[in-house]
Amino acid sequence: MMHRSPSEEALYELAELFKVFGDSTRVRILYALYERSMGVNELADSLSLSQSATSHQLKVLRASKLVRARREGKAVIYSLADGHVVTILAQGMEHVEE
């Protein structure tokens, strides 16, 4: 289930990962991308965010490998990176719903 003694560095990286989940704008972006992949403008509009703020946050999410980007013509389409993202969000949601 869980490793016995992770290194200090691993614990630091783990905290860095959770830091990325620890912002409501980013969580909203992740949930929106869970429903379907989207371009930056579409994402910004659907969440009532500025285009700039959305792009900045997507950069953070990309750096942590929580989302992937692919270009489609003029647009850059973002989608969730993998299943871990969904699992972590779901587990967290279970905790807060209690």
Partner DNA sequence: ACTACATATGAACAGTTGTTCAAATGTTCA
Partner DNA sequence: TGAACATTTGAACAACTGTTCATATGTAGT
d(CA 21, CA 7): 22
Query: Per CB under 7 A, does 87 bind DNA?
Result: no
As a whole number of angstroms, the distance between CA 45 and CA 54 comes to 10
| CB closer to DNA, 4 vs 35 | 35
The distance of closest approach from Cβ of residue 11 to a second copy in the complex, given in angstroms and rounded to an integer, is 5
Residues 93 and 6: their CA atoms lie apart, in Å, by 25
And the tokens for 89? 């969000």
User: Which of DNA, a second copy, none does 50 bind, CB closer than 5 to 8 A by kind?
Assistant: DNA
Distance CA 58, CA 77 (A): 11
- Give, as ranges, the residues between 57 and 86 that touch a second copy (CB under 8 A): 65, 84-86
Q: CB-wise, 5 or 50, nearer to a second copy? A: 5
Q: How far is the CB of 81 from a second copy (least distance, A)?
A: 9
Closest CA to 41 of 85, 72, 15, 1: 72
Interface with a second copy (CB under 8 A): 1-6, 8, 10-24, 26-28, 31, 34-35, 65, 84-98
